[in-house]
Amino acid sequence: MTLDIEQIRADTPGCINRIHFHNSGSSLMPKAVYDATVDHLQLELNIGGYEAAAQSAERIDQFYSATARMLGCAQSEVAYMENATAAFNSVFYGFARKLGVGDRILTANAEYASNFIAYLHVASITGCEIDVIPNDANGQIDCEALETMIDERVKLISITHVPTNCGLVNPAAAVGEVASRHGIPYLLDACQSAGQMPLDVATLKVDAMTVTGRKYLRGPRGTGFLYIRESAMDHFPPASLDLHGARWVELDRFEMSAGASRHENFENNVAGQIGLGVAIDYALALGLDNIYQRIQYLADRLRQRLGFIDGITLADQGIEKCGIVAFAHRQIEPAVFRARLGAMGINVGTSNARSTLLDMRSRGIESVVRCAVHYFNTEEEIDRLMESIKSVISNK
């Protein structure tokens, strides 16, 4: 299948007035996602929230069926969450109750700050230890080194698939192979990978995975989901429960809901859930293999073009790279690029050391410009970005 870029851009009103390379922060919604979200809000306005949810039951269920098709899992293994941090905290802090002094969590050098803060928090309470898996010569997780780190004290392997600060794609499936072989629970942060590449949970061998809706899936902000393998439900109990995640069956007893829904709350953003389901269906209709091939093509083109600009250093690592293209200039701060490019109608992001402290401190990087391409971007937009970057440099 060849992507119809002209039609896709027509489906994306945000393409009209801006050039958007900030897809790893928050991408542009397709019109269908916006319409589905706003239509439900309008229904809530007209008939009431509970009544609107009852009337939209099939559209709510569409989120579960779409997500299950994307991941190759059962609908019961999916929970709708208000964001990826809520998803991560629910599984991680629930799991952490089992940890004690000397137990070990293995994680990645390019781990995201929110996750690492959670590890540090739990370590301060339980006395568990956090050990970082070394990188190989290409800057990605060294799975041979990971193998040597395994002992009976390792209780969890928790990594970020694609870090927030560069185009690295960690070898998540190879890590899953190690975790599976040793019977160690495996938690994957797929916030930056979901929507830009295929994610088959059987191939990845993940036990739990957290995802946001606003990035490459092109869903509404304030949405996300959690995947938990059926056989791993008891490994990852919810950090907290309400009357949706559990039933109060006796005065002194409750029963947790079946499947991943035990991690959900009764109150949630129903309009966002419907919109996220439409966004996932939109991606599936295009084909995630097709999407990733297009993103790879555009990202490679962007890296090649940046490599010819004097003073620019690319910050991307790994054998496999994705749609996030990060760079720094020897004289101009990333925040300056972001502001000046924004004034020219081009959206880019920045990432600073606080987001991935281990990785960026080890490389002596304080911040980078983050240009994240998506399939709706064009070669002409990349050309425009290059000319604008050169303009910023020449007018420094």
Structure tokens at 170: 């960690």
Q: Based on the fold, state whether residues 294 and 208 are members of the same structural domain.
A: no
Q: Based on the fold, state whether residues 226 and 366 are members of the same structural domain.
A: no
Residue corresponding to tokens 């809000």? 41
Q: Based on the fold, state whether residues 196 and 226 are members of the same structural domain.
A: yes
Give the span between the Cα atoms of 86 and 115, in whole angstroms. Answer: 11
Predicted model pTM = 0.97
Q: Based on the fold, state whether residues 272 and 342 are members of the same structural domain.
A: no
Strand partners, 225: 80, 211
CATH number at residue 192: 3.40.640.10
Q: Which domain holds residue 325?
A: 5-28+288-394
Q: Based on the fold, state whether residues 68 and 187 are members of the same structural domain.
A: yes
Which of 267, 285, 303 represents a domain boundary (last residue)? 285
| pLDDT lower than 50: segments of the chain | none
Q: Is 39 exposed, middle or buried (0-12, 13-18, 19+ CB in 10 A)?
A: middle
Q: Based on the fold, state whether residues 39 and 24 are members of the same structural domain.
A: no
Task: State residue 249's pLDDT score.
Answer: 97
Q: Based on the fold, state whether residues 271 and 312 are members of the same structural domain.
A: no
Task: State residue 2's pLDDT score.
Answer: 87
Q: Based on the fold, state whether residues 102 and 179 are members of the same structural domain.
A: yes
Q: Based on the fold, state whether residues 304 and 242 are members of the same structural domain.
A: no
Task: State residue 1's pLDDT score.
Answer: 61
CATH number at residue 341: 3.90.1150.10
Which of 285, 320, 354 represents a domain boundary (last residue)? 285
Give the span between the Cα atoms of 365 and 312, in whole angstroms. Answer: 13
Q: Based on the fold, state whether residues 104 and 44 are members of the same structural domain.
A: yes
Q: Based on the fold, state whether residues 206 and 304 are members of the same structural domain.
A: no
Which of 250, 285, 320 represents a domain boundary (last residue)? 285
Number of domains in the chain: 2
Q: Based on the fold, state whether residues 323 and 390 are members of the same structural domain.
A: yes
